Amino acid sequence: MESWLPLMNIFMNSISPETEASMWFQSSFNSSSNPSISISTASFLSLLMQPIEAVVNDSSSSSSSILCKQRFIWLQTLPNAVQARILSFLAYEHAKFNKQDLTKLARNLLFDATEVDFWVRRAANQLFDVVSDSNFKWVSCLNLDSEEEKFDEKFGSMPGWLIDVASANDSILPWLPISVDDMNKRLPDVTCEDDEDLMVDVEDCKDVNLEMIHTCDDEDLMVDVEDGKNGNFVMIVTQRKLVHLDSDPVDHETKEMALFLKTKILNLESSFKAAELADEIRTIIFKEKKDSLMVLSLIEPWNADDEIVPILLSRIQEGNENDFAITSNILCSIVLPKFLELEKPASRVLVTATINYCKVHYKSAVYALLFPLILHKNGINNPICDVITRIIKDCLHPANVSAICQKLLCEENTNGSEYICPPCYQHLVSKSLVWTESLFNLFQIILNHDVRLTQDSVNQLVFYVQESSIRFSKSLKFANFLLCFAGKCAPMLGIHKLALFEAVEHTSSFLTKSILSKLASIDS
């Protein structure tokens, strides 16, 4: 209980308890000198909801001398003003707490049989509104027309002026010069794979010359067929170049063998068995080299224990050390899924095996590990950031890291997010950066690693800083990044000085003055 006294003092005496309590939590995580004391949002809620029995007067009895035991939660033993402040803080910082626990706490106060103070009940009601999910199923039993449904129907309908124009014009859309007849003459879309021939079937058409122009671009596959004179066609094919396209389905025999190896992975008993299994996997993917990623996805080697990973990484790629496709598919199939779902620090044996592999195959490390991790759909967290940091520091040259930053920051709208990932895990990878505190911390680590960013990368970082300054106004990691950014990239920030000043003024950490002072020293 002693560890919570400073927080209770904030709720009792502070003028702005929500802000000060939030800062106290942020500075107290994992900073306690006593490892047995856990300062976390979960332990705080556990303290508030701790059941306590107390002896009180029986309000239902006419005699006040009758006492009875009654059950409370620990929060209810505090003064009403403190209870209201704590509930207001929980509503303010609800995203950092467990949603179910907050709902349970609010329900206990709102539906408790004991009398609850007006302001406490109001704060509990506000917390309940913030964290509870709306459920309108009860409306359906009333058999009433929902105003929301009427609004949605009206919103989705075509405006009146467009209906009038469309009725008087024989076209698909009035503003497009495409008639119904022209649309019917167009050929349907055609899709093709990277290295497959495009097949066109033309019936009753003799002496037809097909002129095919291939351009390798990063845009979606588009096929346009234009009519020419004398039955000539000019077909322009723009192919999409992606390294993470799904492979063709494997044959039945290979699939059965892959499923058998999947079962063996789940039942490994010794390192000797693991070596035998690795040899079998190497044989099957060497046989199905073109579809090696699909075969590995069927085997699911990421389910192997961390202690087995070094054996799999070292033995499966034997004889294929210089094959980028094979080494990348091995890395992303064995290691990447483990890191994509990382919620706590990775095991030492897993990180060591990964670094040893990436030192030899640094290009595979970039495309099959770093890009998918940095482009995590939910944004990287601290454990993922630690893994990326170790790989960058131990496996890559600063010039390579600068090129990675250039690709991620400046080319994400033009296929900069190229990566290799098992098909069943591609839903965890985004096409663009998702900015979190840990991602800003990663770029700070990169700058401190003496990586020289290009002017384009710096320009994009300034843009993302402007976008994120309000959202991370109280974040120390964001403030530390800004301080490092202003110091390391000062020669390239002259044109962004005013924009950075405006962004930093949105922050409210104790580093804000230092950042403004650092920016003031930059030559415009």
Which of 505, 434, 498 is closest to 469 using CA atoms?
505
What is the mean pLDDT of each successive set of 10 residues along the chain, which is 524 residues long? 81 82 75 55 82 63 55 81 87 83 83 74 84 51 44 53 60 51 49 41 40 38 40 38 46 85 83 86 82 88 90 83 86 94 93 93 92 94 95 92 90 59 91 93 93 91 93 92 92 91 90 91 81
Mapped onto helix, strand or coil, the DSSP state of residue 307 is: helix
- Predicted pLDDT at 341: 92
Token look-up 């239902």 returns 60
One-letter amino acid at 356 equals N
- Predicted pLDDT at 201: 41
- Predicted pLDDT at 202: 36
CATH label, 252-452, candidates 1.10.3080.10, 1.10.10.10, 3.20.10.10, 1.25.40.480: 1.25.40.480
Contact between 153 and 114 (Cβ < 8 Å): no
- Predicted pLDDT at 38: 64
Which of 377, 379, 351 is closest to 365 using CA atoms?
351
8-state DSSP, 419 = -
- Predicted pLDDT at 485: 93
16 CB contacts (<8 Å, ≥6 apart)?
none
- Predicted pLDDT at 102: 86
Which of 489, 486, 482, 497 is closest to 454 using CA atoms?
489
- Predicted pLDDT at 265: 87
pTM greater than the 0.85 cutoff: no
Q: How far apart are CA 373 and CA 143, in angstroms?
A: 49
- Predicted pLDDT at 468: 92
- Predicted pLDDT at 442: 95
Backbone φ and ψ for 69, nearest 5 degrees, come out as: -85, 135
One-letter amino acid at 142 equals L
- Predicted pLDDT at 323: 84
- Predicted pLDDT at 348: 93
Q: Which two tokens stand for residue 331?
A: 């890395």
Contact between 147 and 155 (Cβ < 8 Å): no
163 CB contacts (<8 Å, ≥6 apart)?
none
The CA angle 491-496-497, to the nearest 5 degrees, is 80
One-letter amino acid at 363 equals K
- Predicted pLDDT at 34: 46
Backbone φ and ψ for 293, nearest 5 degrees, come out as: -65, -40
- Predicted pLDDT at 15: 79
Q: How far apart are CA 388 and CA 412, in angstroms?
A: 19
- Predicted pLDDT at 167: 61
Mapped onto helix, strand or coil, the DSSP state of residue 223 is: strand
**All structural domains of the chain with their residue ranges:** 2-30+39-56+69-131, 252-452, 454-523
Q: Which two tokens stand for residue 227?
A: 């009519």
